[in-house]
């Protein structure tokens, strides 16, 4: 190998190192962009979790404060009719109960 070949080979290695350096710089820029995006998404996720927690707390407070609907007048009237010996189920409504308790009526009352 003479001096000219060595000089050419060193030049080629220098070009390859320059290309590798450019690729490394581009890769570094992509990493920086990904890190920034990751940070942005982490902040957004944190904010969304805070909003979700707030909404869950509001829902829990609302549901705990809501009174269970009281049994209405209609239900009381049906219970009174049943206790007087009449069917209140959709199968025998209004008929006199002669054989004791009716499972249909009881299931209707217990709803």
Q: Residue 102, annotated ligand binder?
A: yes
The annotation status of 40 as a binding-site residue, yes or no, is no
**C-alpha to C-alpha distance for 27 and 21, rounded to whole angstroms:** 10
Contact between residue 78 and residue 99 where contact means Cβ atoms under 8 Å apart: no
Answer yes or no: is 95 a known binding residue.
Answer: no
Is 105 annotated as ligand-binding?
yes
- In the chain, helix, strand, coil percent, each to 5? 75, 0, 25
- Annotated binding site for Zn(2+): which residue ranges? 87, 89, 102, 105
- Annotated binding site: which residue ranges? 87, 89, 102, 105
């Amino acid at each position: 190998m003479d001096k000219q070949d060595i000089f050419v080979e060193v030049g080629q290695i220098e070009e390859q190192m320059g290309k590798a350096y450019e690729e490394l710089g581009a890769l570094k820029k992509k990493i920086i962009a990904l890190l920034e995006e990751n940070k942005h998404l982490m902040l957004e996720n944190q904010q969304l979790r805070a909003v979700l927690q707030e909404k869950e707390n509001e829902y829990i407070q609302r549901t705990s404060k809501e009174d269970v609907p009281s049994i209405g007048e209609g239900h009381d009237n049906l219970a009174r009719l049943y206790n007087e010996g009449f069917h209140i189920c959709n199968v025998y409504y209004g008929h006199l109960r002669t054989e004791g308790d009716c499972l249909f009526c009881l299931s209707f009352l217990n709803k």
